[in-house]
Chain A
Amino acid sequence: MNQFSHRQSAHCESGVVSAMMSHHGAPMSEPMAFGLASALTFAYIPFVKMAGMPLIAYRMPPGAIIGAMSKRLGVRIERRKFRDPKAGMAALDEQLARGRIVGLQTCVYWLPYFPEAMRFHFNAHNLIVYGKEGDEYLISDPVFEVSTRCPADALEKARFAKGAMAAKGLMYYPTEMPRELDYKKLIPAAIRRNERGMTKAPLPIVGIRGIRYLANNVLKLGRRNDKSLTLYLAHIVRMQEEIGTGGAGFRFIYGSFLQEAGRLIGSDALLEASKKITAAGDEWRRFALNATKMCRGRMPMDVQALADIINTCADKELDAWRVMKAI
């Protein structure tokens, strides 16, 4: 079986990439995997609904970090999807037998080791399989403290659940690693790409403008002030905190990346930007705290105050990106 050491991550996809890189001899922290993929974003997409709620994303869509691993870091990755579930499971077994660790895209709802309250129909959860014993797969799920096991039939269901962002049994593993990573080039390029996405997005619902769009929507819904407002605010908080973000909608992961990157290439600007993005993250946490207090009636409902906090988040993030622009 594989010599594989499990390490806990905040987010599934950056966790899988970090674990795969490290396993194949190129040690990489989770924040570094996240940052090099330019994975930070903000998007408020009112016409894509999840359980009746608008899609609010704090990071690039699923697959972006793995995509960046092959495109930016020069790792050759074999990615396969399957029409036939049985073929998909057989292919997984074959790679495991060869001693490979394999990344899978799965639907959270069908994974029995997830806590009951967390089992929602979300199709883009990434995990690593590193072995099989009898009818059970050995799973390293990055967001959990320790590695775990999953029965074959449940894993098959999770891989082949249909619907939005369906995995279609997607499995992936690196076949060729780059000889070395040139951080002096990779880091500035990744940050510049991310800066463009956050400050120059052509749509008013993406980036800094997207954050302000969210603030306006909170105000708009606030005029109704019924039960739907509570559910709406709770939804924002969930997207920001619950869905494996490392706190404050990935802002803290990114802050950690900037600090590590700043040290690595000796850039004081990045260290300063790290502090600024952390301050923006703290503001997001303050929003979550206040919104929840208002929903629970421990503070009078004041959507103007909430919108103000969100706009402050936008200001602080813009401030951070201005510093990074110089890089």
Chain B
Amino acid sequence: MDTSSVPQDPSPTYEGQRKLLYAVDDRGEYTGVQSAGWEVETFATLAAVAELDRLREDAWTRALAGQTSALEFHMFDRRMELDTLAATTGIWKWRIRRHFDVQRFARLPEHLLQRYADAMGISVARLRTVPPREGTP
């Protein structure tokens, strides 16, 4: 890549930061060049974020409708999925899946809730509740 072709598309995902790329200048010398962003990379990042948001929204809707527990919503809200939550809590996936059941989740002992809450960095009280959605009836 030439230094002149280092992309400078200000990226919303960088929040004004610039990152370092390596490129070749017109004398053939490699040098570090700061880039404000690349449209291509921004698209990829936003696609990943949009997918996480979609999962979160979906779980939120189902949680408010009583079809899943608050646990699933908070998992996605903290940008986790089943694999990550299982790895960070040390609780097996099939067990976590059972805790997505509303009734089972309501009966969970304090120490299990605490494990989930710690991994997510939130309080047990917050973990127990599904936040109301603004603007929805």
A-B complex is real: yes
Query: Which residues on A are within 8 Å of B, measured CB to CB?
Result: 8-10, 30-31, 49, 51-52, 109-110, 115-121, 143-145, 157, 161-164, 230-231, 234-235, 237-238, 241-242, 244, 246-248, 252-253, 255-256, 259-260, 274, 278, 281-282, 285, 288-289, 292, 295-296
9 residue pairs, one from A and one from B, having the closest CB atoms: A163-B87, A256-B30, A117-B13, A234-B47, A115-B15, A237-B44, A252-B22, A163-B88, A247-B21
How far does the Cβ of B58 sit from chain A's closest Cβ, in whole Å? 14
B22 nearest CB neighbor, chain A only: A252
Q: Tell me, in angstroms, the Cα distance from A120 to B79 when the chains sit together.
A: 7
Residue of B nearest to A288 (CB): B40
Contact residue among A9, A49, A145 (Cβ-Cβ distance under 8 Å from B83): A49
Which B residues from 1 to 33 make CB contacts under 8 A with A? 1, 6, 12-15, 17-24, 29-32
From B23, B30, B52, A31 is in contact (CB under 8 Å) with: B30
Q: How far apart sit A98 and B98, CA to CA, in the bound complex (Å)? A: 50
- Docked Cα-Cα span, A179 to B71, in Å, equals 55
Q: Would you call A121 and B17 a contact (CB within 8 A)?
A: no
A250 nearest in chain B by CB position? B22
Q: Which residues of A contact B29 (CB under 8 A)?
A: 259
- With a CB–CB cut-off of 8 A, which chain B residues contact A256? 22, 30-31
User: Please, which residues of chain A bring their CB within 8 A of the CB of B81?
Assistant: 51-52
Q: Give the docked Cα–Cα distance between A49 and B125 (Å).
A: 31
Question: Once the chains bind, are A10 and B19 in contact (CB under 8 Å)?
Answer: yes
Tell me which residues from 36 to 83 in chain B have a Cβ below 8 Å from any Cβ of chain A. Answer: 38-41, 43-49, 51-52, 78-81, 83
Given contacts A234-B48, A238-B44, contact A51 B12 (CB under 8 A): no
Complex contact B44–A51 (CB within 8 A): no
Are B12 and A117 touching (Cβ within 8 A)? yes
Chain B residue with the shortest CB-CB distance to A227: B51
Q: Which of B6, B30, B47, B83 contacts A274 (CB 8 A)?
A: B30
A231→B51 contact, CB < 8 A = yes
Q: How far is it, in angstroms, between the C-alpha of A247 and the C-alpha of B47 when the chains are bound?
A: 19
A161 engages B88 (CB within 8 Å): yes
User: B18 to A145, Cβ gap below 8 A?
Assistant: yes
Contact A278 B24 (CB under 8 A): yes
Rounded to whole angstroms, the CA-CA distance of A163 and B29 in the bound complex is 42
Q: Return chain B residues, CB-CB under 8 Å to A110.
A: 121
Q: Decide: B20 and A292 in contact? CB cutoff 8 A.
A: no
- Complex-state Cα separation, A253 to B49, whole angstroms: 27
A119 CB to closest chain B CB (Å) equals 7
Query: Is B114's CB within 8 Å of the partner chain A?
Result: no
B1 contacts A282, CB within 8 Å? yes
User: CA of A143 to CA of B19 in the docked complex: distance in angstroms?
Assistant: 7
What is the CA–CA distance of A30 and B32 in the complex, to the nearest angstrom?
Answer: 10
Q: A9-B20, A49-B83, A109-B79 are in contact. Are A241 and B40 (CB under 8 A)?
A: yes
